């Protein structure tokens, strides 16, 4: 379906204060056939929200589009309301571009850009590709944060429209990964290798969860892998926090890390030191 004939839905709640706003059932009225068409064409997508002013989702100040839909079930996920695509607002790609256009000059002045985040953006890979290409076409720096599982859905040409991939590597080892996320690690690693072969810039993001992702084998495994790629500009060690706890509770989900405290500053510093010892830049 050409973009101009994409179904039009009003999206009055597109902008949110933060991705930690709980949002559910915003797209449940969209007929199943329109959902299928949207996914196939990318003319419409489902977004938890747009946020602005972020300084932690890529270089400089970012406008961030948060997609809904994720097949992973990370035990520490901060935004489980983004797992279900129909929790998001249906938004045409034209509308999303219109919103971004308002900020394009400011983003350039502040050396910032546009970040596509989720959920998992590549659950809606046609929509993601259109948004990223559209932003790039405006001269705006583009970043996508992804778990990498569906990286093979993007063509090489589409990868070129992404200035920076922020790749979440959740843990190390096939069994550990399955227990933590419910999914295989290999597609993520394959995507990382492909980005390395294409020399696309990558930041690795790693959530440090005491008792879950902080053992030496995990840290040294990820560090060795990332250092061997040659295109990892930095590793971001993100201390686990409990800001998403209320979402798990409100959604009636079994939150197995409800009693886990955030890591201490010393523990985060020790994790960074492991990455630095492998020759990586880590924060
Ligand atoms: S990949 Fe991201 S959005 Fe999906 S469950 Fe894991 S942390 Fe949550």
246: helix, strand or coil: helix
pLDDT at residue 141, rounded to an integer: 97
Q: Provide CB contacts within 8 A for 56, sequence distance 6+.
A: none
Calculate how far, in angstroms, residue 65's C-alpha sits from the geometric centre of ligand 1.
15
pLDDT at residue 1, rounded to an integer: 39
Q: To test the ligand 1 pocket, which listed residue (19, 23, 48, 70) has its Cβ within 8 A of the most ligand atoms? A: 70
d(CA 191, CA 187): 6
Confirm or reject: Cβ of 182 under 6 Å from ligand 1.
Answer: no
First to last CA, the chain: 44
Of all protein residues, the one whose alpha carbon is nearest to atom 8 of ligand 1 is 77
d(CA 82, CA 147): 14
* Blockwise average pLDDT, block size 10, the chain, 283 residues: 43 72 81 86 93 91 95 96 92 94 93 96 97 97 98 98 98 98 98 98 98 97 98 98 94 96 97 98 97
pLDDT at residue 191, rounded to an integer: 98
C-beta of residue 143 within 8 angstroms of C-beta of residue 121: no
pLDDT at residue 92, rounded to an integer: 94
Calculate how far, in angstroms, residue 2's C-alpha sits from the geometric centre of ligand 1.
31
pTM across the whole model: 0.93
Confirm or reject: Cβ of 74 under 6 Å from ligand 1.
Answer: yes
Calculate how far, in angstroms, residue 79's C-alpha sits from the geometric centre of ligand 1.
7
pLDDT at residue 6, rounded to an integer: 44
Calculate how far, in angstroms, residue 119's C-alpha sits from the geometric centre of ligand 1.
6
pLDDT at residue 53, rounded to an integer: 85
Calculate how far, in angstroms, residue 182's C-alpha sits from the geometric centre of ligand 1.
10
d(CA 142, CA 135): 7
Confirm or reject: Cβ of 188 under 6 Å from ligand 1.
Answer: no
Confirm or reject: Cβ of 118 under 6 Å from ligand 1.
Answer: yes
d(CA 170, CA 172): 7
pLDDT at residue 22, rounded to an integer: 82
Helix pair 216-229, 265-277: axis angle to 10 deg: 40
Confirm or reject: Cβ of 43 under 6 Å from ligand 1.
Answer: no
Instruction: Count how many Cα atoms sit within 13 Å of the Cα of residue 213 in the half-sphere of its side chain.
Output: 28
C-beta of residue 263 within 8 angstroms of C-beta of residue 240: yes
At CA 47, angle to CA 98 and CA 183, rounded to 5?
140
Could you tell me the CA-to-CA distances from 110 to 62, 73, 114, 163 in Å, in that order?
9, 35, 12, 16
Confirm or reject: Cβ of 85 under 6 Å from ligand 1.
Answer: no
Closest C-alpha among 104, 184, 99 to residue 148: 184
pLDDT at residue 29, rounded to an integer: 83
Confirm or reject: Cβ of 120 under 6 Å from ligand 1.
Answer: yes
d(CA 75, CA 85): 19
pLDDT at residue 10, rounded to an integer: 45
pLDDT at residue 12, rounded to an integer: 52
Of all protein residues, the one whose alpha carbon is nearest to atom 6 of ligand 1 is 74
Calculate how far, in angstroms, residue 85's C-alpha sits from the geometric centre of ligand 1.
13
């Amino acid at each position: 379906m050409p973009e101009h004939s994409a179904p039009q839905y009003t999206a009055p709640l597109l902008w949110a204060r933060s991705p930690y706003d709980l949002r559910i059932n915003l797209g449940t009225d969209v007929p199943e056939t329109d959902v299928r068409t949207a996914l196939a064409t990318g003319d419409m997508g489902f977004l938890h929200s747009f946020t602005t002013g972020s300084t932690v989702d890529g270089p400089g100040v970012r406008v961030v589009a948060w997609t809904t839909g994720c097949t992973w079930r990370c035990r520490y996920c901060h935004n489980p309301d983004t797992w279900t695509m129909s929790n998001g607002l249906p938004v045409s790609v034209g509308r999303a571009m219109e919103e971004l256009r308002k900020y394009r000059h400011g983003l350039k002045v502040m050396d910032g850009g546009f970040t596509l985040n989720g959920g998992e953006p590549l659950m809606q890979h046609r929509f993601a590709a259109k948004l990223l290409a559209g932003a790039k076409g405006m001269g705006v720096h583009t970043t996508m944060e992804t778990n990498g599982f569906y990286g093979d859905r993007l063509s090489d040409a589409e990868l070129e429209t992404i200035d920076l991939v922020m790749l979440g590597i959740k843990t190390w080892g096939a069994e550990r990964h399955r227990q933590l996320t419910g999914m295989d690690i290999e597609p993520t690693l394959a995507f990382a290798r492909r980005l390395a072969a294409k020399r696309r810039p990558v930041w690795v993001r790693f959530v440090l969860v005491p008792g879950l992702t902080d053992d030496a084998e995990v840290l040294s495994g990820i560090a060795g892998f990332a250092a061997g790629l040659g295109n990892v500009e930095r590793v971001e060690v993100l201390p686990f926090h409990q800001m998403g706890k209320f979402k798990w509770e409100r959604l009636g989900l079994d939150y197995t890390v409800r009693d886990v405290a955030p890591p201490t500053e010393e523990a985060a510093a020790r994790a960074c030191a492991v990455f630095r010892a492998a020759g990586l830049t880590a924060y």
